[in-house]
Copies of this chain bind each other. A is one copy, B any other.
């Protein structure tokens, strides 16, 4: 599976950087610490090509083993960009999906042809509008939908901000809008926006079907690609419209996302890239992230900050001084580099933590 990344850098360093990405997105550990020839030959990412990609940018093509994806959409995304997404100099640019992978997915069940057929729009582009603003009652949204339908639109979708809010509960809204659109007498489709976890999505899909609806809106980067994929497989009668909300999510401050928000949903520990490792977080960011995980907040228990990402045994004392005892140190590849001395190296690490004299 060839994967293309755009990487900011200079000619002197790009080869090394490309190799680092190949490792990051495959085995995520020092290659020289790998003993298994099957892993070295079949799993470790390979640099296939490096080409100039404009001022200070290179196009780097990396070969990744398709088996690492497990042929599951979430894990696929993980192998393509999971860690590199956090490194500011890299953009995931394109993927040459091999047949083994495309064969494991089915693509759209309905697609352009059926969406066109359903509304009788042969030979022309389809039309769509959106119901908003949120805050309106279900009845008012229904009236709005009826008016748009009477205007002859093919599809009328919920604003992606419409979920299951008290001012317009999903079931009430679907009923009101479906009835209003049907009453308009045309072939207009009302497209409600689904939200929540998989069971909630299923319940909303059933509600929509019962109201005679055949198309729904989903935001995969919010719902999670695996949930959306499952929903698609389970509801063959529904067509799915995807919304790009959160598709540009890199720019959430780490203390908020990995600290507060993960804590909010119940993470007992949160792993994050420590400063001075393979990632670009500053000491200030790390300190703020740990504080977000630990500081008194509502009646929540503390989340354990787990700094990681290229940490070494040699940094143990410094990290303990920095994070204090309310933390979990995570050292991966550096310990594994010890190979036959792994037990001892691990012991040295745990001993160092056990014996540390906290400031």
Contact = CB atoms under 8 A, between A and B. Distances in A.
B260 A329 contact: no
Given A132-B333, A298-B102, A329-B128, A151 B304 contact: no
Given A82-B222, A253-B93, A271-B243, A328 B258 contact: no
A126 B329 contact: yes
Given A132-B28, A328-B128, A220 B252 contact: no
A273 B86 CA distance: 24
A11 interface: no
Nearest to A336: B132
B343 A151 contact: yes
A85 B247 contact: yes
Contacts of A226: 195-198, 200, 222-224, 227
Given A29-B132, A300-B102, A328 B242 contact: no
Contact of A347 (B151, B245, B342): B151
Interface residues of A, number: 177
A134 interface: yes
A171 interface: no
Interface in A141-158: 144, 147-148, 150-155, 157
Given A128-B328, A152-B347, A82 B245 contact: yes
B111 A302 contact: yes
Contacts of A159: 28-29, 332
The majority secondary structure among interface residues of chain A is mixed
Interface stretch (A14-22, A47-55, A67-75, A175-183): A67-75
Tell which of A244, A308, A326, A327 has the most Cβ of chain B within 10 Å.
A244
A274 to B, nearest CB: 12
A241 interface: yes
A298 B351 CA distance: 54
Given A112-B302, A133-B27, A68 B165 contact: yes
B253 A129 contact: no
Interface string A86-118: 111011111101010011011111111111000
A294 B113 CA distance: 11
18 contacts: A73-B264, A75-B165, A77-B261, A85-B245, A85-B251, A105-B265, A110-B268, A111-B300, A115-B269, A124-B356, A125-B327, A129-B330, A129-B335, A229-B266, A241-B271, A244-B254, A247-B249, A248-B249
